[in-house]
Structure 1
């Protein structure tokens, strides 16, 4: 089934809304503690409990509006639920902080396996919206593999050595900015290897 078109603003709101809500709630509750069922929970744990249903609802809304979900969206929801649930159950924020590391290692590994098998998994997901030749896909996937592994290392370094405030800011703003900067840096590669006639003419000029 082909993906239905929705407004970019709606997609951005659904994808970033839960993250921004987590950030805002954490800022409001970070210095408070809540006793529930005889157990004391920090504001971080409480907002983790709020974040799980928020991202579930946003993912379902994206599915209903577009008719499909990417593998990354499904895997993110599963890992948020699993690691967020462990965070709440064990009352230990480390599990939620490790979640981005697991996600980026998994996607880096998937791209690495594709490169090793000489198969372009990324083109299966983005091929309709990003027309590239085979060499372009291979170069982009290699760079994305390194990028994902780099993000995993950065996440581990930050949550293990810095404060929770620093990690929340990195998760909310640093990761999206890094993603945007990465794809902007690939503009030249995309022009050079585009199979779109208009892009090919521009690259040749």
Structure 2
């Protein structure tokens, strides 16, 4: 069932606001150490502790306003809670840094399983917003599967070999830009295999 339509600016604020606030919070607190209950926590862990309930809250608000959440949104908030919670509980930032890897491996794996079955699970998620011929969906799904796995590998390389500052910039801006560029470069698929609105209604 389709969700309710809300102001696009509000929707973007709810979806990207927590990420921007995480970035700002990290820049302000990264050099500080907080002693809580006799344990020292650096700024990254403190900001992560704030980020987890914040993204849960904004996701809940988005659900209340639209009446709908995508499977991707649900999976993301669950993984944020799990890996962010582990980082805070164990006072170890590695778990939160692994979170994008797990998200992209999960999405890429799900799409890959569908491809092995000769199906495009991406079509089931995005068909209403982006009507394509079946061949177009299969091409886009194969490319997106490879893209997700590539991002997972890239995230692992960056957080394991680079500074926390570099990883935070990569997570905040690099991943978002990569997704945007990927879909921009798929314009040929959308043009060649796109279904006109009248055709989609008659299909």
Structure 2: unaligned runs, 5 residues or longer: none
Structure 1 residue 174, shift from structure 2 partner: 0.4
Q: Structure 1 CA distance, aligned partners of 2:28 and 2:122? A: 39
Structure 1 residue 68, shift from structure 2 partner: 0.7
Structure 1 residue 57, shift from structure 2 partner: 0.7
Match for residue 98 of structure 2? 98
Query: Helix, strand or coil: the match of 2:40?
Result: strand
Match for residue 138 of structure 2? 138
Q: Structure 2 CA distance, aligned partners of 1:3 and 1:190? A: 24
Match for residue 121 of structure 1? 121
Query: Helix, strand or coil: the match of 1:6?
Result: coil
Q: Structure 1 CA distance, aligned partners of 2:8 and 2:172? A: 19
Correspondence list, 1:11-50, <5 A: 11-50=11-50
Correspondence list, 1:40-189, <5 A: 40-189=40-189
- Per-residue displacement from partner, 1:29-77 (whole Å, max 9, x unpaired)? 0000000000000000000000001100110111111111111110111
Structure 1 residue 2, shift from structure 2 partner: 1.5
Match for residue 203 of structure 1? none
Q: Structure 2 CA distance, aligned partners of 1:11 and 1:22? A: 18
Equivalent residue pairs, number: 199
Match for residue 202 of structure 1? none
Q: Structure 1 CA distance, aligned partners of 2:22 and 2:175? A: 15
Q: Structure 1 CA distance, aligned partners of 2:197 and 2:107? A: 31
Q: Structure 1 CA distance, aligned partners of 2:169 and 2:148? A: 19
Indicate the larger mover: 117-126 or 16-25: 117-126
Structure 1 residue 197, shift from structure 2 partner: 5.7
Alignment partner of 1:7 is 2:33 = no
TM-score by length of 2: 0.96
